[in-house]
Each structure stands twice: as structure tokens, then as C-alpha cells.
A = this chain, B = another copy of it.
Amino acid sequence: MSLPHQPVELYDPIKYIMNLGGKRMRPLLTLLGYKLFSDDIEKAMPAAVAVELFHNFTLVHDDIMDEAPLRRGKPTVHNKWNENVGILSGDVMLVKVYDHFLELDVDPQKLKSILGKFNVCAAEVCEGQQEDMNFETSDHVTESEYLEMIRKKTSVLLGFALEVGAEIAGATEVVCRQIRDFGINLGIGFQLQDDLMDVYADQKKFGKQVGGDIIANKKTMLLIEAIRRAEGDNKKELEDWLKAKDFDNEEKVKAVTELYNRLGIKEAIEERMNDYFNKAFNNLDHFPVAESKKDKIRLLANALIQRES
């Protein structure tokens, strides 16, 4: 990815965030989506860069909105520079995303199709972020509202990343849709897994504080299910913890986790998560390509599913 040098306040933050690392899962998915149908992966590179750049654009702006001081253990862009730099360098990143798509060596009609799909995805990612912020102050979030929020906020981009690779490689529209659905189901499963790990991960192996979501009353699938299931004393206890202002973090995490255990939340969400993973692998089984071609995607998906929990 080549960028201008000036003004440095605009372009240095882009280089900074893009070099912070991360799993690079999205561009990998684009290349894997491409590899299902064609071998010369160079052709998919501009889209892989575009997808990663878009993901990082959302991180820069989301970190401002969430007032996050750190990202991948390093200062966030608005923290290292300032908020204005974060807003504006994010904006120019989004413009550069489209520039990378325009670099694709594909028929202009196909480019138009890819941009149309990307626009739907990008608007949904923004909608998901807004819904997530709305949930913070909402008294009642339903399971289906939550699933729709995570579909938009995190899953559609995984689906698009795979789909755009396949489309560049010449997959038909029907197959593109199957691949996108695989990515979306996988993504929803991942998010439910994240929700579970926040409560049930081994602190020694977990990068963040276990129970962070509980401390912050974050409306995850676990809390939504607990609110739905809790009755009587359990209901009162849960409501008290949600209303509590002064509390010991460790005590709250322990108490709410025990409440979740009594209510069978872990098993319920695991079942839901596995439904999405099964749906995803079912999508994968139906791709009209040789099984040997699907191995890398299966391997990646399994590696991500069997994370420490």
C-alpha cells in the first residue's frame, strides 16, 4: 500500500494503525476465497488490502467513539495524536479503500458489482456500530436485535471479504452468496464465542480482563439470555448488580458468573454458537469446488474456533 507523505498528520496515523498488526484475518479470507477458484492470488491483492484498510478505518473511528486508550496494546490513533487527526485520517482511509478496489484488474462491470456489495457491507458496519452504542443506554435488548447487531457490526465484513475474493476469481453469483453466508455464520459464531470467553476464559491465557463485559454491564448474548431466564431471587440479584454503582469488580464478576452458571447460560450460548458454526460448515460443504480446495478455509475456521476458552 503506497500513501502520500504530506500532510504527515493525515498519513502517518494510517501507516501506524496498519502496522499495529493483528491477525489479518480479513485479507486472508479474501485470498482464501480467491484461491477456491483460481491460483494467481496477486489478482486479489488490491481487494485484500482494501478490506484490511476498511477494517482499520472502523477501528480508528470506533476507538474515538468508545474513548478507547489502547488498541493491540498500543495507544489508539486519537490518543497518540488527537481526535481531529483520528476523524480525518479515518476519512481519508475510507477514500483510499475505494482507491484500492479501483486498482483491481477486473472487468469494469464486475468492479461495479463489487463496489455495490461493498457499499451495502460498509453501511451495515456503520449501522451495527450505531446499534451497539444504542444498546448501551437501552433498557431492553432482544436476542434477535443483538444477533442482527453483531451480524452487521462484525460478520458482514467477514462474509464480504470471502465473497469479494471468490467474485474476483470468477465464482458465479450463487456461489458468491454461499461463500458470503459461510462467512456471516462463522462471524456470528465468533462473536458469541467472544462473549463466552469474556466470562469463561482462563485469565492466564486471556489478553483482556476476564469479566470485563460483566463489570461494564455490556449487553452481550450472555446477559440478554440471563435477563430472559432469571426469575425470583435470581432476577432480583441480577437487577441489583446491574444497578450497582459502587462495587468490587472481582466480587461482581464472581457473583454474576455464578448466576450465569445457575441459569445454564454457558451451555445455552454454546449451543447457539455451535448452531452458527454448524451452519457455516454446512455452507462450506455445499461449495461446488473440490474438497482439497476447501481445506485451507476449513483449517483456518477450525483454528479460530478452537481458541483458548
**A residues touching B (Cβ–Cβ < 8 Å)?**
4, 6-7, 9-10, 61, 64-65, 84-85, 87-88, 90-92, 94-96, 98-99, 102, 107-109, 111-112, 115-116, 119, 122-123, 126-127, 129-131, 133-134
Contact = CB atoms under 8 A, between A and B. Distances in A.
Given A95-B119, A119-B98, A127 B61 contact: no
A87 B102 contact: no
Per DSSP, chain A at the interface is: helix
Nearest to A128: B7
Nearest to A126: B92
A92 B10 contact: no
Q: Which of A87, A90, A92 has the most CB of B within 10 A?
A: A87
Contact of A96 (B84, B87, B123, B130): B123
A277 to B, nearest CB: 28
A10 to B, nearest CB: 5
A216 to B, nearest CB: 17
Contacts of A90: 91
Contacts of A10: 126-127, 130
Contacts of A108: 107-109, 111-112
14 contacts: A7-B131, A10-B127, A61-B88, A61-B91, A64-B84, A64-B87, A65-B84, A88-B126, A88-B130, A91-B91, A91-B126, A95-B119, A98-B98, A108-B112
A103 B107 CA distance: 18
Given A92-B123, A108-B108, A134-B7, A87 B116 contact: no
A122 B109 contact: no
Given A7-B134, A9-B130, 16 more contacts: A9-B133, A10-B126, A61-B88, A65-B88, A84-B133, A88-B129, A90-B91, A91-B94, A91-B126, A92-B126, A95-B126, A98-B119, A102-B112, A102-B115, A102-B116, A107-B108
Given A102-B116, A116-B102, A131-B7, A87 B111 contact: no
Contacts of A94: 91, 94-95
Contacts of A7: 127, 130-131, 134
Contacts of A115: 98, 102, 115
A172 B295 CA distance: 50
